[in-house]
């Protein structure tokens, strides 16, 4: 497993969003990555068309999925973002996450020991909060450590993003910065993976 060293920057990988133009979930992920980059991290985003992968079939990995898996294998922190669809995460994001099954027998099992930021958007609090909870369950099942701060954004409450896609709601900007800081501080502390027969 690779870890950030003085010669290798901390790498944050984000997966999520929707294929909708100006996906609010993607904009929220970009805000977290921007904040992480300001702290010196290298960032990689898989969103929009990157998520249009064939329905996951165990053992079958095309070039797009391989790129995502390679990035996650080199990550020091992961961020997963989903819109709330019918109260929970979208099929598009779940399918992309299902591909992480290919990392079960990899150099580290899934994302063992990595901090995982979870970001949910919806058109109401109920789906936003429930989707955030589901993302935290996913992070746990992938052996990751959800950051203490998760982001549940209610797009119906107030304008969150401006015309340029930047965050205009101060509490959301602050949340993105706190999440980035938690990803980097936990990731740098380096929770060491523990060998276990339980997958
Ligand atoms: C198929 C579908 C189902 C949705 N279901 C819900 C829902 O159950 N509750 C809710 O608050 N919003 C729901 N929404 C609204 C989206 O969660 C919300 O607009 C979200 O911010 C869209 O994310 P995006 O901009 O990244 O595409 C739904 C939207 C779609 C397209």
- Measured distance CA(38)–CA(35) in Å, rounded: 5
Domains along the chain with CATH numbers: 11-189 (3.40.50.360)
Spacing, Cα 83 to ligand 1 middle (Å): 6
Burial class (CB in 10 A: 0-12, 13-18, 19+), 194: exposed
Beta strand extents in 57-177 (DSSP E only): 77-85, 88-89, 115-122, 145-146, 151-154
Q: Name the nearest CA neighbour of 145 among 100, 192, 94.
A: 192
Res 136: pLDDT: 98
Ligand 1 atom at minimal distance to the Cα of residue 19? 27
Q: Which residues line ligand 1 (CB under 6 A)?
A: 17-18, 20, 23-26, 83-87, 121-124, 127, 155
Spacing, Cα 124 to ligand 1 middle (Å): 9
Spacing, Cα 123 to ligand 1 middle (Å): 6
Spacing, Cα 120 to ligand 1 middle (Å): 10
Spacing, Cα 45 to ligand 1 middle (Å): 21
Closest residue by CA, ligand 1 atom 21: 122
Ligand 1 atom at minimal distance to the Cα of residue 155? 21
Closest residue by CA, ligand 1 atom 9: 127
Instruction: Report the sign of the C-alpha dihedral through residues 71, 19, 34, 153, in that order.
Output: negative
Q: Which SS3 state, helix, strand or coil, does residue 76 take? A: coil
Q: Which SS3 state, helix, strand or coil, does residue 119 take? A: strand
Ligand 1 atom at minimal distance to the Cα of residue 153? 21
Res 120: pLDDT: 98
Per-residue pLDDT of the chain (199 residues; tens, 9 = 90+): 555 666 689 999 999 999 999 999 999 999 999 999 999 999 999 999 999 999 999 999 999 999 999 999 999 999 999 999 999 999 999 999 999 999 999 989 999 999 999 999 999 999 999 999 999 999 999 999 999 999 999 999 999 999 999 999 999 999 999 999 999 999 888 755 555 555 5
Spacing, Cα 131 to ligand 1 middle (Å): 10
- Measured distance CA(24)–CA(18) in Å, rounded: 8
């Amino acid at each position: 497993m690779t870890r950030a060293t003085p010669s290798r920057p901390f790498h944050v990988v984000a997966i999520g969003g929707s294929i909708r133009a100006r996906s609010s979930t993607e904009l929220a992920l970009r805000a977290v990555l921007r904040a992480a980059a300001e702290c010196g991290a290298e960032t990689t985003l898989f969103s929009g068309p990157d998520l249009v992968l064939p329905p996951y079939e165990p053992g079958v990995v095309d070039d797009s999925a391989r790129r995502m898996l390679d990035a996650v294998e080199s990550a020091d922190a992961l961020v997963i973002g989903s819109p709330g669809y019918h109260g929970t995460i979208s099929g598009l994001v779940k399918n992309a996450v299902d591909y992480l099954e290919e990392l079960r027998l990899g150099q580290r099992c899934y994302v063992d020991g990595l901090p995982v930021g979870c970001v949910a958007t919806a058109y109401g609090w109920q789906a936003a909060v429930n989707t955030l909870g589901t993302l935290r369950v996913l992070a746990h099942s992938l052996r990751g450590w959800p950051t203490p701060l998760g982001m549940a954004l209610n797009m119906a409450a107030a304008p969150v993003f401006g015309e340029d896609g930047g965050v205009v709601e101060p509490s959301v900007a602050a949340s993105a910065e706190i999440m980035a800081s938690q990803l980097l501080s936990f990731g740098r502390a380096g929770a060491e993976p523990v060998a276990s027969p339980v997958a």
